[in-house]
Every structure is written in structure tokens, then in C-alpha cells.
Amino acid sequence: MMTFITGVLIGLLGMWLLYTNKRRQIKILDEEKQLLQQEKQIVVEFMHNMVEAVVESNDRETMFQRIIHAAILSTGAISACIFEKHEDDSLKGIAVEGLFPPQRQLPREHDGKQSTRTQYIERILKSERFKMGEGLIGQVAKSKRALLIPDATKDPRVIQHDDPSLFIRSIIVAPVLFDGELIAVLAVANPADGLAFTDTDFSLVESLAEQVGLAIHNSDAMQLQIEKSKIDLDIELASNTQKLLLPKEFPPSSSISFATHYTAAQKVGGDLYDVFSLDENTIAFAIADVSGKGVSASILMAICQTHLRHFAQQHRSPSAVLGAINQAMQSSMQRDMFITMVYAIIELDSEELTLARAGHELPFFYDQHCDGSLNVGPIKSPGMAIGMAPPEIFDAVIQDTSVHFGDKDALLLYTDGITEAINPEGDEYSGERLLETLRSAGKQSAQTIIEKTLDSVSQFANGAGQIDDLTLIAIKHS
């Protein structure tokens, strides 16, 4: 009987122990679940704070400062600091909150000029630089692995200071990474409850550092996009301004017609054309090309056009106009930049065309004689590019060239984007092909000459793509 009772009691005791153990396991699981839920909530709140930091901060240092503040709130640490990686692979303190202990020994005396000890410590931290592998910060940066030191008082790697307020009891240092690349190092010190950091705290700081890396990457990407948008807007404004400078209408004439074409290789280009009246009997026109492309070239071209209009009213001679432009632009041009240009005038009553060439491609002349014969070829004229030589050299080289521009004659001016257009095999369109195009189309209108030329270049290029600005002026005598 006693054996039976004993067996029952042992069975009941076993059941009670099993029940108690299960309750303990459930309680542990609940506590772990609660801890995970708390950690999740902390990370969510931290991410929210960082999103605000990224969106609302106007500069990088302010963003880092807000990130540090969010880290303090999330971890319950007394102090924290973040060290940003620079291009030379050094790490420099960029943001600090609380009396975060400097990671090097402090000088025995400070200068006394700091208004508070906090400002003094902050200045020290922001002036510190660590090499990869140097100190706790450098070690974590080099290994890219977070470090937990629960009891910093017994770890020789931790720098301790005489000042009790700078004593490190416990510290966590974590790398801030994105896609495996080091961005910064985050360090938090001394929990506010006076206890040591735990493995749970360590896991939390690692999670926070991961979110910091993502936030900083997104901030950098956003700033790049903002800068790109600003540049795109500036280029768009420059492009629109450049288009406004190009004439849409030409001086009226019963005998002379003009047609033009301009296509920039980029949003803004370095080519220019202009057509304007000097008086009732004289029409002036010009084509030019600045070395280089982009906004700087377009600005230089706008300056050139302003000078052209100004000096064209002062000088009747095209070579004198180009000489004046060269002298005026000496101070505006960099050494590696120059402008090629052809400037010409047509006297309507005498049908005389006079031009001067500043190193530009030779104009092509469709010369229809009274006897029915035809000559198609370049008008040769000496000259050198604007900005390449001082006035005493430039003026000695450049000169006017005059031809009779009568019935059925045509003139074609172009930039090297036409003749240097390439096909898929790498061959250039060339001046010879352009002459042949003018020979076949010269008897037609100025607009048709432009269209035929563009069709010829397009067929030759066969989809190879435009590598330079394309500019054409066609002048036709009816």
C-alpha cells in the first residue's frame, strides 16, 4: 500500500514539476517575446527619428547630430559619438552628445578658454582622427565587426581618464556599413541605469548601426539627386537662353533668302549663328564654333555674340569686326579655349559679299555664271581663331575677301560637326561630300539646301550618333 501511495506522490510531483517547468518556459518565452517587441519598437522609433534627420537636416553634420540624439534615446546611454570615415581612410568625430569620453588621453591642462567642460570635450572629440586599426574606433572600423565591452574597467583597450565624469563603465562600438562599405563608427557609453550593457543592448546597437548606414546612404543618394536636379535645371535654363539668342526671323529681302539649322550634341552647345541688318542695303551674318561643349562654351558664345552685334555697328570691314572681337575677348577666355568664326556682309545693291575668316571651316560657294557655267568650291580666306593670339599677330593675318553674289548663287556655311560626322565604320562625312551635296542642291532654295544637307549627313551616319554640334547657314540669291 505504501509503495502505491509513494508511486502516486512521485507521479504527482513529477506532473507538478513538469507543469512548473512549462510555466517557467512560457514565462521566459513571453519575456523574450516582450524584449524582441521592445527592441523592434525601439528600432522603428529610431528609424522614424532618422528619417526626420535625413529629411529635415540642411547639412551633413546636423544630420549626424540628430542621428546621435536618436541613438541616445534608443539605447538609454549617457553619451554617444559617431566617427565618419574620410577619403584618406581616417576616422574623425563629427557628432557627439553627452560627455562622451575622448578615445585618447587628455592633456593635463586645457586652455581655459572653453566656456564649459562639455564644449571642451566636444572640441577634443571632433578634432580626433583615428587610422584604421588604431584604438577601439580604428579596430572596429578595420574589422567591420561590432564590439561589446560589458565591464570596461577591466579592459586594457579602453582609455580611462582622471575625470570621474569621463569614466567608462561599459561601451558598445559598432561599424556603420552599407553594402559592406564602411561609412562611420558609432559608439555608445555608460547605460543610464548604471548597469553594464547586455547582449540584448549589443544586438540593438548593431541593428541601429545598420539603420544608420541605410539612412546615410539614402541621404547621400538624395543629395546627389538634388544636386543633379539643380544642374539639370541650370542646363535647361542655359539651353533655353541659348535658343533665345538664335534668330528666328531674318531681314527681309526681295533677292536674298536665308535658312539655318542648329542641333546641339548636348543640351547646350558651343556653336552660334546670327543674321541681322546693318542698314537697309546691308545684311550681316556669322557662324562660329567654340572649342569644347557644355555650359561654359555656351556662355562664351553668348559673350561673343554680344561683341559681334556691338562691333558690327562700329566697323564696316568684317576683318575689323573680328579683330575687335579678338581684342575684347582676350581677358574672357581660358588658355585652352578659342573661337572659330566666319563673319560676312552682303551689299544688296552691288551684290557684293565680303567675308573674313577667323580659323573657321571655309565657306562653300555655289557660283552660277551668266554664261551657264558653274563653279562649286570653297572661298579661301586667311585667318586664325579668336583667342589664340594677341591683336598684333591676329590682325596681321586676318583679311577681307570679296566675291560677286548674283543671281542663282548660293553660299553654305557650316561647323565641323557636319564634316566630321562619322558612320559606323568610323569614316568622316568630309568636306568633299558636303561639296557634292551643295553641287546637287545649290540650284534650289536655301531651305532645301539645308534639308538636303541634313538628309545626306544622316544617311551617311546611318545611326552612328551625333558627336558634335551641327550648325548650317544657307544663303540663296533668287
pLDDT truncated to tens, each residue of the chain (478 aa)? 556 566 655 665 666 566 566 566 655 555 555 655 555 455 555 555 555 555 455 567 787 888 888 888 878 899 999 999 998 999 998 888 888 888 887 766 544 444 566 777 777 777 778 899 999 999 999 999 999 999 999 999 988 888 888 889 999 999 999 888 999 999 999 998 889 998 888 888 888 888 888 878 877 776 777 676 666 665 666 666 666 778 889 999 999 999 999 988 776 677 889 999 999 999 999 999 988 766 777 788 888 999 999 999 999 999 999 999 999 998 778 777 899 999 999 999 999 999 999 999 999 999 998 888 999 999 999 999 999 999 999 999 999 999 999 999 999 999 999 999 999 998 999 999 999 999 999 999 999 999 999 999 999 998 887 778 899 999 999 8
Contact 102, 159 (CB under 8 A): yes
CA angle at 39 for the pair 181 and 44, rounded to the nearest 5°: 70
Do 358 and 422 belong together in one domain? Answer: yes
Cell of 91: 576616422
Does residue 13 lie in a domain region?
Answer: no
Do 305 and 340 belong together in one domain? Answer: yes
Ramachandran category for residue 130: left, alpha or beta (phi over 0 → left; psi -120 to 50 → alpha): beta
Does residue 332 lie in a domain region?
Answer: yes
Do 247 and 314 belong together in one domain? Answer: yes
Beta-bridge mates of residue 410: 366, 476
Determine the structural domain holding residue 403 and report its residue range. 242-477
Beta-bridge mates of residue 402: 354
Do 422 and 288 belong together in one domain? Answer: yes
Task: Assign 3-class secondary structure to the chain.
Answer: CHHHHHHHHHHHHHHHHHHHHHHHHHHHHHHHHHHHHHHHHHHHHHHHHHHHHHHHCCCHHHHHHHHHHHHHHHHCEEEEEEEEECCCCCEEEEEEECCCCCCCCCCCCCCCCCCCHHHHHHHHHHHCEECCCCHHHHHHHHHCCCEEECCHHHCCCCCCCCCHHHCCCCEEEEEEEECCEEEEEEEEEEECCCCCCCHHHHHHHHHHHHHHHHHHHHHHHHHHHHHHHHHHHHHHHHHHHHHHHCCCCCCCCCCEEEEEEEECCCCCCCEEEEEEEEECCEEEEEEEEECCCHHHHHHHHHHHHHHHHHHHHHCCCHHHHHHHHHHHCCCCCCCCCCEEEEEEEEECCCCEEEEEEEECCCCEEEEECCCCCEEEEECCCCCCCECCCCHHHHHHHCCCEEEECCCCCEEEEECHHHHCCECCCCCECHHHHHHHHHHHHCCCCHHHHHHHHHHHHHHHHCCCCCCCCEEEEEEEEC
Does residue 122 lie in a domain region?
Answer: yes
- What pLDDT sits at residue 219? 74
- What pLDDT sits at residue 367? 95
- What pLDDT sits at residue 95? 87
Does residue 1 lie in a domain region?
Answer: no
Do 315 and 423 belong together in one domain? Answer: yes
Angle between helices 199-245 and 2-56 (to 10 degrees): 20
CA nearest neighbour of 474 among 327, 323, 290, 259: 259
Do 192 and 298 belong together in one domain? Answer: no
Q: How many CB atoms lie within 10 A of CB 59?
A: 9
Burial class (CB in 10 A: 0-12, 13-18, 19+), 418: buried
Do 101 and 140 belong together in one domain? Answer: yes
Cell of 291: 572649342
What's the rounded Cα separation, in Å, for the pair 352 and 406? 8
Do 158 and 263 belong together in one domain? Answer: no
- As a whole number of Å, the end-to-end CA separation of the chain is 137
Does residue 231 lie in a domain region?
Answer: no
Do 286 and 184 belong together in one domain? Answer: no
Of 162, 191, 221, which one is at a domain's C-terminal end? 221
Residue 385 identity: A
CATH (domain of 121) = 3.30.450.40
Do 412 and 281 belong together in one domain? Answer: yes
Does residue 307 lie in a domain region?
Answer: yes
Longest Cα separation, the chain? 147
Residue 35 identity: L
- What pLDDT sits at residue 111? 45
What's the rounded Cα separation, in Å, for the pair 23 and 1? 33
CA angle at 65 for the pair 81 and 130, rounded to the nearest 5°: 35
**Domains held by the chain: number:** 2
Do 272 and 337 belong together in one domain? Answer: yes
CATH (domain of 424) = 3.60.40.10
Q: Which residue has the cell 560676312?
A: 344
Q: Which residue has the cell 533665345?
A: 244
Does residue 408 lie in a domain region?
Answer: yes
Do 47 and 196 belong together in one domain? Answer: yes
CA nearest neighbour of 184 among 221, 217, 146, 141: 141
Does residue 103 lie in a domain region?
Answer: yes
